[in-house]
Amino acid sequence: MRLDGRIAVVTGGTRGLGRAITEAYLAEGASVVAAARNPYDIKELADEYGDRLLYQPVDVTHERSVQELMDAAVAAYGGIDILVNNAGVSRDGKIARLSVADWNTTLATNLTGVFLCTRAAIGPMTARDRAEGQSGHIINVSSCVAGRAAAGAAAYSASKAAVEMFTRTSAVELAPRGIRVNCLSPGYIDEGMGKELAANERAWEAYRGRLLAGRLGRPEEVGAAAVFLASDDGSYVNGSVVEVNGGLNWAA
């Protein structure tokens, strides 16, 4: 129970990797606010974990909605110890035909959303009374394409690269406030876009040789990394980008 008594907010926390992180945090004893536009099947977890799980609707691109999320976490559990900025969208398209609307939507959700949630969480995190040596922690979710060129992913890759630099800057600024900030960078995971890739026989054949592990990652492996970063086990990790990609050989 490495997160016993901790309070976590996970955006995009009702499906995909966000849900995997929500489940991992609950299993480790945390109370979790799973925030997203839609609850999907989060009721299944609520039935299992009772009042340690709260669903809160949120649009991370809207400042008021984000503030309502943080207020809900404080009202329900008394504060915030962990924030996982996981909500994200992908609008694929080569630059020549990528619309301004799709570009703006991607940046607003993947980057501005991280900024708004981080800023809104600083006050509640700073106000928490923690044991000596414990810190608040923010985890931003990036992607393996943040630092590697992939045709058709200009908007998504640019947003995630910016998230990684935002992470490093936040770590410098928030360390004096007792808040660690790290970035989790998943590779190809058997969930969401990774699952769609594996289902496309032609695309999967092109990418499979790049995975040194020889398989897609499992969502729970990303959840385990998120637990490590948020727990005391990761107390000396700050301003880092932690890759969970099974050894991705992009040059293959």
Q: What is the mean pLDDT of each run of 10 residues along the chain (252 residues)?
A: 96 95 98 96 91 97 98 97 96 91 97 98 92 86 88 92 98 96 94 81 81 90 98 96 89 62
Indicate the domain borders of the chain. Answer: 7-192+218-243
pLDDT value of residue 252: 58
Q: 7-192+218-243: which CATH architecture?
A: 3-Layer(aba) Sandwich (3.40)
The yes-or-no answer on residue 25 being catalytic is no
Given 25, 55, 77, 156, the catalytic residue: 156
Measured CA to CA, the distance from residue 171 to residue 225 in angstroms comes to 18
Q: Distance between CA 142 and CA 159 in Å, rounded?
A: 9
Q: Closest Cα partner for 89 from 116, 73, 112?
A: 112
Question: 31: helix, coil or strand?
Answer: strand
pTM for the full predicted model: 0.94
Q: Are 28 and 227 in contact (CB under 8 A)?
A: yes
What lies within 8 Å, CB to CB, of 219 at 6+ separation is: 16, 17, 19, 20, 189, 190, 191
Q: What is the pLDDT of residue 130?
A: 75
